[in-house]
Structure 1
Amino acid sequence: MVITAQLPQPREEIEEAGAAEPERRRAWLWLWPFTVTLALGGYGLTGSLLGRDELVTWDMVNRSSDRILATLHNVDAVHGTYYLLMHLWVGLFGDSVVSLRIPTVLAMAGAAAVVGLIGNRLFGYRAGILAGILFGIVPAVSRYGQEARSYAFVVLAVAVATLLLLRLLEKPGSPWRWTAYVLTLAVVGLLHLIALSVVLAHVCALAARARQDRSLWWKSVLAVVVLAGCVTPLALLGRSQAHRQLYWVPEPDGWASLSLPRDVFASALGAGAMVTLALLARSPRRVPLLLCGAWALLPPVLVWGASHGAVSYFRSVYLLFTLPAWALLAGAGLAATCRTWKPALALVAALAVLTLPDQRQMRGPFEHNAPVPVDYAAAADVIRKLHQPGDAVVYDRMDSWKLDSGVQYYLPRGLRLRDVFLARTPAAINDLYPVQCSVPTRCLAHERRIWVVTQGGDFPFAAIDPLQANALQSRYTLTLSRPVTGMTVSLLELGAGRTSSR
């Protein structure tokens, strides 16, 4: 038998091996939350049809950058930064459903990773990982991670700003950390002004620390002044457009505030479980609970109060950026309750299973237009199958459901139909809605066949503008009426005779 002795490792190798374990532990802080959220957000990504807000995104990002900027002077300025970013993205990767939605999936996954890092700083390693995973399994995270709108980016920006605040509090004398923090808050405001209400929570944390370092008072004031200078022009422009864009949002009552958690989480059960775990959060320090509690509660209170004036801003999606705070508190509560990984992960898995019905609902085919289902794809399919060269189209524009954009998106790109009563496109007038022909009889060009796309199941001539209906009825006969979910696709053919349907 030959006995071999193991040589001792060089000191450098021992130090490197010792450093590898903490490095791996730090990686898990963001990698697990990122992976879980990316997997859930990517599952069923194309299952839901584009909603009307996503169709606005599609319309805007396919304009030139000059046209986008010109439109923002008239409407939707608060989403301008997102449109410009997506304009660059679509220029590189196209405008398929996957391409339009994948940036928000990545943004939500990034937000989950940042939640893990924040949780580690505030409540410890295990609480950080649990917080990131809990954030990822919230049904609303998947829902808005699969929507081509700015809200996932807002959540990410708010989370990054909060992480930079914590780094700043560790070294408040660093001008670079102050600069990074203020610039990130400016990005938050440029993405969505309402999300800047998170500053209330940040002020609470800064005030608590200012008892030890009084220089934080004047530095914070200076930061707020710089931030205000960055976002005030957009705030003034957005306020001038608010009534036009939010006229339909009702003024919130007491019930609206009570139902907010259910709506923000997109799950009554998930909201109840997360709030319960959040109430169990413990920390030997004051700032973690103060920061997260203020982050979760103060923005909704502020927005609720501000919504009792000329314009209401109280929509659950506008407060989605509070979800990381609830996840952080819930992760801390779960870590405090379960001293080991197994029971903690078992509870996370149980919560994921219990919210599966809500997750399935979030991926319903018409969820992005809920509560009114509208099947743009089915309507486009009817036209595609029965289309003949020279066909034209009339869209019901009596509502704001974007029937024109929805059907056009799902029609083959090479299939072009003359929009009979369209006088000027939204892009041509730097707006979101078109100008229609003022004298419909003058806009008819004697096309042999005209498709009429209307919302609901009403008789097509009763669903469109009366002047347009009269012009069509005087020359065309209804020869086909095909209902699809939430819409009716009808075919008119040139010729005299009594209107018929089949």
Structure 2
Amino acid sequence: MTNIRPHLARSQAKTILLALLPVGLTLLAFGLRVYHLTYQSLWRDEVDALLFATRPLSELLATFRRPGENGPLFFLMLRPWIAAAGQSEFALRFPSALAGALAVPLAYVLTRRLAGRGPALATAALMALAPYLVWYGQEAKMYALLTALVPLALWLTIEAAERGGWRRWITLYVVTSVCFYTHVLAALVVPLQAIWFLVLRGGWGGSETHQAPGASEAPGAWWAILRAIRPWLAPVIYLFALVLPYLPLVWWQAVLWLSPTFETGHPFVPLPEMATVLVVAFSRGILPVQEPLTLLPFVLALLAGALLWPGGDRRQESGGRRQESGDGRDRWRPLVLLLTWLLFPVLAIYGVSLGMPIFADRYLIWIMPAFLALIGMGIVVLARGWRPLALAALAAIMALNLADVAAHANQPIKADFRGAAAFVLPQLQKDDLVIFQIPYSRFTFRYYSGRSVNRVDGPYTNDGMSETELANQMVTAVGQASVAWLVASEAELWDARGLTEKWLAAHGAITDRAEFMRVTVTRYDLR
């Protein structure tokens, strides 16, 4: 009896620790996302979120049916928050920090449902520390929210497929709808769910079809048909109910996308390059990787999870209880589901991009939990084979994550309009002219200046405009101004030849100049 009590105490302590670990990792994720939340200046996409959320309500609601609009529901949800919390950098970014932290327990719950507690804890730790997720958890856009919504939708997919019940189906319907009104490419969750239904109810260890009372007396052929159809009725009804109301939205988008004059603004990216971009970003974050060898622990764990998990251990967890599984399909199911989640959206976007390039790595941020779950499974598999290798891979991943998070949080990366505005405003006179190149950057400058300025848009010259044509436009735009400020950011998108700057240099003298991250400010005394 004396020997049993210490054992029970240790067992209880371990149980409590394992229960508290996801909570601790969630708090860690929140802390990392709130730390230096306002260090980076807002960039134009974040200011867009503010502008879209604060437009007149009738205009905002109209975006739900307007072609080309992306994420109208995110801006609608942001609207009351801005009204309550204000328009500061911290207020604009805080919802993303919160959503990014909530993604950690949601990924934990989903991964535990699929693969057990060990991979789930590893996944939660990776979600908390991933530099890519921390970065977008500090951006006033919808991407962090997607990392919470999609795992929730997929967990509900399993719940509805395996346990049924109209409440689960309705909840799944609502959450999935929120997904693709938060970002247009999250609509790929719907065909992904259809694939998951096939896996979950197609003999991969999903819910069983129970024989109804009196079934043995029913006509054999009819009962066979009923038994074959019955498991698929609810998923089919759900998918039709989900898709049909949104066919007009698909049509409106198709009309826009198929227009010969429509351009997405994205270059075509070959599939191997897409895969490379995603692996690098999901592993190391948004900064360029100087040493490709640092990707090795991520790739090693990913391949271990993808290749060794089904045969790594016959013991499975179900609802937190370990059990022996004699059915090989049960061991394959989590791998099939996670690989489908990771690969299908990439292939779908590549297919669309063959006709209309739309790839950007952040658009696929919602597949990153699958990437990290496979790495978590790989760490567990490696630990079963040779624990020192697993510990070394995990330690290397965590060390690289922390280093990248620190780099993101302590060096300017986004266009520094905060610094540019602080430089210009004390010197700006009433009649000074401010030229914005690209013109859209004026909204970010206005956010930090807090007032209107006497401004003109820099001419678009990338359509082949001649120097003579530019000169005529500049003479008209400048008028009688004696001082002009050129605020240039991403100018190559508008004026790759630098014709505007050349004209100003030819017709004025540079009297001041300052370089900020991705923004250059030049003051000209015009002649």
Q: What is the TM-score normalised by the length of structure 1?
A: 0.76
Conservation of the 8 A alpha-carbon contact between 1:190 and 1:234: no
One-letter amino acid matched to 1:489: V
CA offset digits 1:410-465 (Å, max 9, x no partner)? 22x3x44233569xxxxxxxxxxxxxxx988777786775544234899x9x9576
Q: Does 1:178 align with 2:169?
A: yes
Structure 1 position 79, deviation (Å) = 1.7
What is the CA–CA distance in structure 1 between the aligned matches of 2:498 and 2:341, rounded to whole Å?
Answer: 46
Structure 1 position 246, deviation (Å) = 5.3
What is the match of residue 161 of structure 2?
A: 169
Q: Does 1:45 align with 2:86?
A: no
DSSP-derived class of the 1:396 partner: strand
What is the CA–CA distance in structure 2 between the aligned matches of 1:177 and 1:456, rounded to whole Å?
Answer: 47
What is the CA–CA distance in structure 2 between the aligned matches of 1:352 and 1:409, rounded to whole Å?
Answer: 37
DSSP-derived class of the 2:513 partner: strand
Conservation of the 8 A alpha-carbon contact between 2:104 and 2:128: yes
Q: RMSD across aligned C-alpha pairs, in angstroms?
A: 3.7
Query: Which residue, out of 267, 282, 304, partners 1:250?
Result: 267
What is the match of residue 376 of structure 1?
A: 417
What is the CA–CA distance in structure 1 between the aligned matches of 2:243 and 2:424, rounded to whole Å?
Answer: 51
One-letter amino acid matched to 2:521: V
What is the match of residue 222 of structure 1?
A: 237
Conservation of the 8 A alpha-carbon contact between 2:436 and 2:455: no
What is the match of residue 322 of structure 1?
A: 367
What is the CA–CA distance in structure 2 between the aligned matches of 1:297 and 1:74, rounded to whole Å?
Answer: 30
One-letter amino acid matched to 1:112: V
Q: Does 1:404 align with 2:439?
A: no
What is the match of residue 303 of structure 2?
A: 276
Structure 1 position 26, deviation (Å) = 8.0
Query: Which residue, out of 105, 111, 124, partners 2:116?
Result: 124
Conservation of the 8 A alpha-carbon contact between 1:113 and 1:132: yes
Q: Are residues 338 and 86 of structure 1, via their aligned partners in 2, closer, same or farther at CA, if it must alter by over 3 Å? A: same
What is the CA–CA distance in structure 1 between the aligned matches of 2:476 and 2:269, rounded to whole Å?
Answer: 46
What is the CA–CA distance in structure 1 between the aligned matches of 2:175 and 2:491, rounded to whole Å?
Answer: 48
Conservation of the 8 A alpha-carbon contact between 2:301 and 2:378: no
What is the CA–CA distance in structure 2 between the aligned matches of 1:90 and 1:450, rounded to whole Å?
Answer: 35
CA offset digits 1:339-379 (Å, max 9, x no partner)? 69x977775443111234433443365434xxxxx431222
Conservation of the 8 A alpha-carbon contact between 1:246 and 1:313: no
Q: Are residues 288 and 58 of structure 1, via their aligned partners in 2, closer, same or farther at CA, if it must alter by over 3 Å? A: same
Q: Are residues 330 and 138 of structure 1, via their aligned partners in 2, closer, same or farther at CA, if it must alter by over 3 Å? A: same
What is the CA–CA distance in structure 1 between the aligned matches of 2:256 and 2:432, rounded to whole Å?
Answer: 34
Conservation of the 8 A alpha-carbon contact between 1:277 and 1:334: yes
What is the match of residue 352 of structure 1?
A: 398
What is the match of residue 12 of structure 1?
A: none
Query: Which residue, out of 164, 182, 185, partners 1:191?
Result: 182
Conservation of the 8 A alpha-carbon contact between 2:513 and 2:521: yes
Q: Are residues 449 and 177 of structure 1, via their aligned partners in 2, closer, same or farther at CA, if it must alter by over 3 Å? A: same
Q: Does 1:395 align with 2:423?
A: no
Conservation of the 8 A alpha-carbon contact between 1:30 and 1:114: no
What is the match of residue 290 of structure 1?
A: 336
Conservation of the 8 A alpha-carbon contact between 1:79 and 1:150: yes
Question: Which residues of structure 1 form unaligned runs of 5+?
Answer: 1-16, 369-373, 423-437
What is the CA–CA distance in structure 1 between the aligned matches of 2:263 and 2:231, rounded to whole Å?
Answer: 38
Conservation of the 8 A alpha-carbon contact between 1:277 and 1:331: no
Structure 1 position 409, deviation (Å) = 1.9
One-letter amino acid matched to 1:281: W
Question: Which residues of structure 2 form unaligned runs of 5+?
Answer: 1-8, 210-227, 286-291, 311-315, 317-324, 459-471
What is the match of residue 63 of structure 1?
A: 55
For residues 139-154 of structure 1, what are the structure 2 equivalents within 5 Å? 139-154=131-146
Structure 1 position 168, deviation (Å) = 1.7
Q: Are residues 361 and 312 of structure 1, via their aligned partners in 2, closer, same or farther at CA, if it must alter by over 3 Å? A: farther
Q: Are residues 464 and 178 of structure 1, via their aligned partners in 2, closer, same or farther at CA, if it must alter by over 3 Å? A: same
Structure 1 position 321, deviation (Å) = 0.9
What is the match of residue 362 of structure 1?
A: 408
Query: Which residue, out of 483, 487, 492, partners 1:453?
Result: 487
Q: Are residues 381 and 102 of structure 1, via their aligned partners in 2, closer, same or farther at CA, if it must alter by over 3 Å? A: same
Query: Which residue, out of 77, 80, 99, partners 1:107?
Result: 99
Conservation of the 8 A alpha-carbon contact between 1:61 and 1:83: yes
Conservation of the 8 A alpha-carbon contact between 1:481 and 1:488: no
Conservation of the 8 A alpha-carbon contact between 1:61 and 1:86: yes
CA offset digits 1:83-142 (Å, max 9, x no partner)? 111122111111211111111111111111101111221222232222111122222111
What is the CA–CA distance in structure 2 between the aligned matches of 1:337 and 1:456, rounded to whole Å?
Answer: 45
Q: Does 1:307 align with 2:360?
A: no
Q: Are residues 410 and 320 of structure 1, via their aligned partners in 2, closer, same or farther at CA, if it must alter by over 3 Å? A: same
Q: Does 1:35 align with 2:53?
A: no
What is the CA–CA distance in structure 2 between the aligned matches of 1:354 and 1:479, rounded to whole Å?
Answer: 44
Conservation of the 8 A alpha-carbon contact between 2:433 and 2:481: no
What is the CA–CA distance in structure 2 between the aligned matches of 1:171 and 1:74, rounded to whole Å?
Answer: 38
What is the CA–CA distance in structure 1 between the aligned matches of 2:13 and 2:269, rounded to whole Å?
Answer: 51
Conservation of the 8 A alpha-carbon contact between 1:200 and 1:294: no
Q: Are residues 70 and 456 of structure 1, via their aligned partners in 2, closer, same or farther at CA, if it must alter by over 3 Å? A: closer
Q: Are residues 364 and 155 of structure 1, via their aligned partners in 2, closer, same or farther at CA, if it must alter by over 3 Å? A: same
Structure 1 position 278, deviation (Å) = 2.4
Q: Does 1:232 align with 2:232?
A: no
One-letter amino acid matched to 2:137: G
Structure 1 position 273, deviation (Å) = 4.7
One-letter amino acid matched to 1:480: T
Q: Are residues 233 and 465 of structure 1, via their aligned partners in 2, closer, same or farther at CA, if it must alter by over 3 Å? A: farther
Query: Which residue, out of 264, 280, 294, partners 1:262?
Result: 280
Q: How many residues align?
A: 443
What is the match of residue 418 of structure 1?
A: 454
Conservation of the 8 A alpha-carbon contact between 1:77 and 1:237: no
What is the match of residue 7 of structure 1?
A: none
One-letter amino acid matched to 2:47: L
Conservation of the 8 A alpha-carbon contact between 2:194 and 2:239: no
DSSP-derived class of the 2:514 partner: strand
Q: Are residues 29 and 97 of structure 1, via their aligned partners in 2, closer, same or farther at CA, if it must alter by over 3 Å? A: same
